Structure 1
Amino acid sequence: MLKDSKTGYGLISIIFHWACAPLILFVFGLGVYMRGLDYYSPWYHRGPEIHIELGLLIFFLMVLRLLWRLRSGSPEAIATIPKSNQLAANLVKLVIYIAVFTICITGYLITTAEGSGANFFGIFNIPTTLELSADNIDRAGKIHKYVAWGLIALVALHATAALFHHFIKRDKTLVRMLKPSDDSL
């Protein structure tokens, strides 16, 4: 039940999915909320700290998730789902991965742009790799913002498709990400 099988996801893949999904939504919401803060808001400094720390956590979880995915493979598609839908689902998942990594990398570049490292919950500091010019900080900020909004649109599409498969098509698409496969031992 830990590893993925041909028919479903194992517990490790399910944990990675459900650990990352709410974190990504929360960090996105916090990012949107922070845009409206003024200097005197109690969250003016704490909000960005949490945003950065959780963004780094998402990055680390996504690296582990990607390594796990590359090692364990993916379950076979449900036979009743047309090949075009399978291709679209795989494309959406790939773009979600690319978007999350793009957001994390641009967030890191923005955070460390002036030479300060990125703090990970006070446990350790991730050093600066390069300092950006003001124009490049702005570019990274725009990429970070617009890719984040695109990611949320893709996540909404992904969730809608899962619910469609569960309630309309009545197949096991959603159940496979909720319950470990019995033959994944």
Structure 2
Amino acid sequence: MHKYSISMRLLHWLSALLVVGLFAVGLWMRNLGYYDPLYQVLPFWHKSVGFLLLFLILVRLFVRGVTRQPGHLSTHKTWERILARATHWVLYGLMFGLFISGYLVATADNRPANFFGWFDIPVLMTAFENQEDIAGLIHEYCAWSLIGLSVLHAAAAIKHHWLDKDVTLKRML
């Protein structure tokens, strides 16, 4: 059984953990009132961890490009291979949709976004009308789509493990 490299496995599971955590915090933030003590704290952490996830995904794409990835199993059907490849690229696309829209929300007031209080991420474009609302809506749709597709991705891995009894899931563990 050819497994994914340890770096790919760590980046996969760390990314998954951060995606779920950011989604949960994002849902929580939507219900905070202006006078809630977490009203300023949670968005700061959400943005910083979001930028960290962007960095991890860029590293993951780099590692994916320079390391040998295990091929599909011979038991995988053609439609499963096509669907798996498409799903992975759509997951990446949704994450980049989240990164871009999140950045546009964070910089809608023409102020740089801050990364854990260490440095500022500059505003790269002048704000457009209703930027925060439009980007926020895109961010929300991408987040729900990413979570939905991630659930299907996990269900497919479980299907391979329990029903097909193949090593698809074990290669990422």
C-alpha distance in 1, partners of 2:55/2:22? 15
Give the corresponding residue for 1:69: 64
Moved over 4 A (4+): none
Q: Give 1:45's match in structure 2, choosing from 35, 40, 47.
A: 40
1:108-164 deviation line (CA, Å, top 9, x unaligned): 111012121111111211111112223233221111110110000000000111111
Gaps of 5+ in 2: none
Asked whether the equivalents of residues 25 and 42 of structure 2 are also in contact (C-alpha less than 8 Å), the reply is: yes
User: So what's the TM-score if we normalise by structure 1?
Assistant: 0.90
- What letter matches 1:173 in structure 2? T
Instruction: Within 5 Å, give how 1:1-185 maps onto structure 2.
Output: 7-178=2-173
What secondary structure sits across from 2:120 in the alignment? strand
C-alpha distance in 2, partners of 1:11/1:45? 37
C-alpha distance in 2, partners of 1:42/1:174? 41
Asked whether the equivalents of residues 162 and 173 of structure 1 are also in contact (C-alpha less than 8 Å), the reply is: yes
Displacement of 1:70 in angstroms is: 1.5
Asked whether the equivalents of residues 117 and 127 of structure 1 are also in contact (C-alpha less than 8 Å), the reply is: yes
C-alpha distance in 1, partners of 2:11/2:172? 10
- What letter matches 1:99 in structure 2? L
1:23-80 deviation line (CA, Å, top 9, x unaligned): 0100011001110110121111111011101100000000111111122243100110
C-alpha distance in 2, partners of 1:34/1:134? 23
C-alpha distance in 1, partners of 2:105/2:131? 9
- What letter matches 1:63 in structure 2? L
Asked whether the equivalents of residues 108 and 131 of structure 2 are also in contact (C-alpha less than 8 Å), the reply is: no
User: So what's the TM-score if we normalise by structure 2?
Assistant: 0.96
**Paired-residue identity, %:** 39
Q: Across the two proteins, how many residue pairs are aligned to each other?
A: 173
Gaps of 5+ in 1: 1-5, 179-185
Name which of structure 1's ranges 105-114 and 54-63 shifts more when overlaid on structure 2.
105-114
C-alpha distance in 2, partners of 1:102/1:71? 24
C-alpha distance in 2, partners of 1:44/1:17? 30
Displacement of 1:177 in angstroms is: 0.3
Displacement of 1:8 in angstroms is: 2.4
Asked whether the equivalents of residues 23 and 58 of structure 1 are also in contact (C-alpha less than 8 Å), the reply is: yes
Name which of structure 1's ranges 118-127 and 9-18 shifts more when overlaid on structure 2.
118-127
- What letter matches 1:171 in structure 2? D
